[in-house]
Amino acid sequence: MTTGALLPVFALMTSLTAAVIIFTLPEQKHQLRTAVNLIAAVLKLLLVGLMIWGVFQGREYGISFPMIPGVEFVLRADALAMLFAGLSASWWLLTTVYAVGYLEDSPNRSRFFGFFSLCVASTMGIALAGNLFTFFLFYEMLTLSTYPLVVHRGTQQALRAGRTYIIYTLTGGAVLLFGIAMLHGFSGDLPFRPGGHFADMSPDLQAPLTLVFVILIAGLGVKAAIVPLHGWLPTAMVAPAPVSALLHAVAVVKAGAFGIVRVVFEIYGLETANALGLLWGLAAIAAFTIIYGSARALSQSDLKRRLAFSTVSQVSYIILGLCLAGPVGVAGGLVHLVHQGVMKITLFFCAGNYAETLGIHRIDELDGAGRRMPGTSVAFTLAAFGMIGTPPLAGFITKWTMGTGALAAGMDWVIAVLVISSLLNAAYFLPVLNRIWFREQKNAWPEERQWGRFETSAWLLWPPLITAGFLVLAGLLASASFSPLGWVELIVAREVDL
């Protein structure tokens, strides 16, 4: 086996191995566990970095072997895969750091970090999957490994949320499997391939292909939280903050969105999908989701729930971007994969900080929090403005690119969607910011704890600051070749056959 084959496997194995080691470590060995976690995370980041560099140079990494008759297990590192892999590897490191601080003194840490590592392994697998089947494998693994994280607290509420989560995602998985099986039934094993497989299909395949597309999207849409399949996301908010951050920013919703990207680009092919009239429907659903999520977010009084509905809305940007079916629009959608991730993860980190340090869960308790926790609040503010789409932050780049793409595609109504959504975003984020910065603290904090010499534990403070810094840089340096936008343009040039 060459290094080319080994790199993806290693990238996958680092977190799997970490999971195994952590599961076998006794509960009390906190330091050792933290060390294992961090080493694995850094190692993985390095491996992914290596792969990114290689892919940038035009190298191919991959491995495949037959699994079930007619089905191959394929890992492949292409530019699109590296986008998601890079995202998850870097955020894993930060989330691990954050989680170590967040779960200090709480029980069941061994279980938590074990499943946490499994969850990241599955995300990595999703990124590197080279065909729908392998994708599905890791997709389901992700479902299973996140369940214990959602119910981690073990309260009735958490358990209920876990049940909702598992019902939604497993049903989605079953639907997806159904779609994959059908697709497999009439065309065999389909590796992801730029341009898709159905460029010159026979006309009698049209109807079944359309049906399968709908089924696949319905299956993937559960994780991507497309309305009306989004119900699990706000309920899953009871999970600990690092989990929410991971669920919402990187792993779960992105897995769904990423799957849709793969299906549209590399199974059907953008042009075929467009020719079948599928993108139009998808765009309509995505647009509705964007508006609906934002509108629902307005009326939430719980901070994390508001963020959750915001996620519902934001993830559909990615999907809407794809439906623009042009190089610019697609780039806008793809780059939002990263941008939404970094913004949402920051927001959840901050929400977690407020909850852990001050005991704040509801928005009306936030009055004056900016003075007490300036670092966290700055990060929160930046991320919120990013969500609104204020330049020069990451969210603006998304909106601008998508807007240009929409005009290029002649889909002017998308601009209206973007504008309405931005207005709604402003309407639900600005009052929060106003409370944080411009209101005087009225009551004592619900549950304050002093934590070291900073406003909160350094483990909790640095991750949101770093992600906030990243989201500023991702916007400011968007035109640099190493920025997310730069990478996405590379993907579009290389892998999206337009």
Partner 1 sequence: MTLWLMAGLLFTPLAWAVLTLLAGFRRGRVVTWLGIAIQVLVSLALWAVVVRDGGFQYPLGGWQAPLGIELRVDGLAVTFVLLTALVAAASGLHAGFYLDPDKQWHRYFWPLFWFLWAGLNVVWLGNDLFNLYVGLELISLSAVGLVALGGQSEALRAALRYLMAALLGSLAYLLGVALFYGEFGSLSLSGIASALGQDSSGDGTGFALVLMLFGLALKTALFPMHRWLPPAHGIARSPVSALLSALVVKGSFYIAARLWLELGAPLGSLALAQLLGLLGGMAVFWGGWQALRQRKLKQVVAYSSVAQIGYLFLLFPLTWNTTEAAALQAQQAMTLQVISHALAKAAMFLSAGNLIMSVGSNRVNALAGVSHFLPFSLFSFGLAGVSLMGLPPTGGFAAKWLFLQASLATGQWWWLVVLLGGGLLSAAYVFRVYRASFVEDSNIDHFFHPARRLEIIPMILALLSLGLGLMAEPVLSVMALTFANGEGT
Partner 2 sequence: MIASPLMLMTVILPLASLFLAIRPQWQTIYRYSLPLLPLPAILAGLMAELHHWLELPWLLIGGLWGLDELRQTFLLLTSVLWATAGIFAVGYLETRKLRPFCLFWALTLTGNLGLIISVDLASFYSFFALMTFAAYGLVVHERTDEANRAGRVYLAMAVAGEMALLTGLLMAAHQAGSTLLTELPGAIAESDRSGMIIALLVSGFGVKAGLPFLHFWLPLAHPVAPTPASAVLSGAMIKAGLLGWLVTLPFGELSLPAWSNTLVVLGAIGALGGAALGLKQVRPKTVLAYSSISQMGLITLMVGAAMANMEQAATLFSVIALYALHHGLAKGCLFLSTAVELPTQRRFRWTLWLLIALPGFSLAGLPFTSGAAAKLAMKAELKLEQYDFAVAEYLPLIMTAGAVATMLLIWRFIWTLHQSARRGHNHPFKWLGWVAATVCSLVGFWFLPGARSEAGHSWFVLTPGELWSLCWPIVVATAIAAVGWFTRGRNGSDLG
Interface with partner 2 (CB under 8 A)? 385, 388-392, 396-397, 399-401, 403-404, 407-408, 415, 418-419, 422-423, 426, 430, 434, 437-440, 475-480, 483
Interaction of residue 480 with partner 1, rule CB under 8 A: no
Binding at 36: pick from partner 1, partner 2, none (beta carbon under 5-8 Å per type):
none
Interaction of residue 64 with partner 1, rule CB under 8 A: no
Report how far apart the first and last C-alpha atoms of the chain are (Å, whole number).
34
Near partner 1 by CB under 8 A, which window of 158-166, 210-218, 378-386, 427-435?
Answer: 158-166
Q: What is the contact mask toward partner 1 in residues 95 to 114, using x (rule: CB under 8 A)?
A: ------------xx-xx---
Interaction of residue 159 with partner 1, rule CB under 8 A: yes
- 24 burial (CB, 10 Å; 0-12 / 13-18 / 19+) is exposed
**95 vs 425, beta carbon nearer partner 2:** 425
d(CA 30, CA 111): 12
Interaction of residue 164 with partner 1, rule CB under 8 A: no
**55 vs 241, beta carbon nearer partner 1:** 241
- For the chain, the 3-state helix, strand and coil shares in percent, each to the nearest 5, are 75, 5, 20
Binding at 4: pick from partner 1, partner 2, none (beta carbon under 5-8 Å per type):
none
**269 vs 368, beta carbon nearer partner 2:** 368
Q: Of the candidates 162, 221, 463, 464, which one interacts with partner 1 according to CB under 8 A? A: 162
d(CA 432, CA 434): 5
Q: What is the contact mask toward partner 1 in residues 176 to 195, using x (rule: CB under 8 A)?
A: -xx--xx-xx----------
On whether the CB atoms of residues 290 and 323 are closer than 8 A, the answer is no
Least distance from partner 1 to the Cβ atom of residue 74, Å: 13
Binding at 171: pick from partner 2, partner 1, none (beta carbon under 5-8 Å per type):
partner 1
Q: Which two tokens stand for residue 387?
A: 């969500």
Q: Residues in contact with partner 1, total (CB under 8 A)? A: 46
**28 vs 299, beta carbon nearer partner 2:** 299
Least distance from partner 1 to the Cβ atom of residue 214, Å: 16
Q: Which residues pair with 62 in a beta bridge?
A: 76
Which three-class secondary structure state does DSSP give residue 72? strand
On whether the CB atoms of residues 30 and 109 are closer than 8 A, the answer is yes
Which residue type does 43 have? L
**110 vs 390, beta carbon nearer partner 2:** 390
d(CA 398, CA 317): 9
Interaction of residue 30 with partner 1, rule CB under 8 A: no
Q: Which of 366, 349, 353 shows the shortest CA–CA distance to 457? A: 353
Q: Which of 140, 142, 144 shows the shortest CA–CA distance to 162? A: 144
Q: Which two tokens stand for residue 492?
A: 């579009």
Binding at 476: pick from partner 1, partner 2, none (beta carbon under 5-8 Å per type):
partner 2
Least distance from partner 1 to the Cβ atom of residue 476, Å: 42
Q: Which two tokens stand for residue 152?
A: 């981690």
Residue 413 burial (CB count, 10 A): 12
Binding at 67: pick from partner 1, partner 2, none (beta carbon under 5-8 Å per type):
partner 1
**422 vs 457, beta carbon nearer partner 2:** 422
User: How many residues in total does the chain contain?
Assistant: 498
d(CA 146, CA 252): 8
Binding at 479: pick from partner 2, partner 1, none (beta carbon under 5-8 Å per type):
partner 2
- 392 burial (CB, 10 Å; 0-12 / 13-18 / 19+) is middle
Q: Which residues pair with 362 in a beta bridge?
A: 302
Near partner 1 by CB under 8 A, which window of 64-72, 78-86, 90-98, 233-241?
Answer: 64-72
d(CA 295, CA 313): 9
Packed helices 132-150 and 252-262: angle between N→C axes, nearest 10 degrees: 170
Binding at 30: pick from partner 1, partner 2, none (beta carbon under 5-8 Å per type):
none
Interaction of residue 262 with partner 1, rule CB under 8 A: no
Which three-class secondary structure state does DSSP give residue 68? strand
**316 vs 483, beta carbon nearer partner 2:** 483
**120 vs 478, beta carbon nearer partner 2:** 478
Helices (H), 103-249: 109-128, 132-150, 156-187, 206-223, 232-235, 241-245
Q: Of the candidates 3, 53, 154, 482, which one interacts with partner 1 according to CB under 8 A? A: 154
On whether the CB atoms of residues 301 and 435 are closer than 8 A, the answer is no
CA distances from 384 to 26, 37, 66, 276, 299 (A): 40, 30, 46, 38, 17
Binding at 275: pick from partner 2, partner 1, none (beta carbon under 5-8 Å per type):
none
**344 vs 399, beta carbon nearer partner 2:** 399
Binding at 392: pick from partner 2, partner 1, none (beta carbon under 5-8 Å per type):
partner 2
**158 vs 264, beta carbon nearer partner 1:** 158
Helix (H) and strand (E) counts in the chain: 20, 2
**204 vs 440, beta carbon nearer partner 2:** 440
On whether the CB atoms of residues 368 and 443 are closer than 8 A, the answer is no
Where do contacts with partner 1 occur on this chain (CB under 8 A)?
23, 27, 65-71, 73, 107-108, 110-111, 133, 136-137, 140-141, 143-144, 147-148, 151-156, 158-159, 162-163, 166-167, 170-171, 173-175, 177-178, 181-182, 184-185
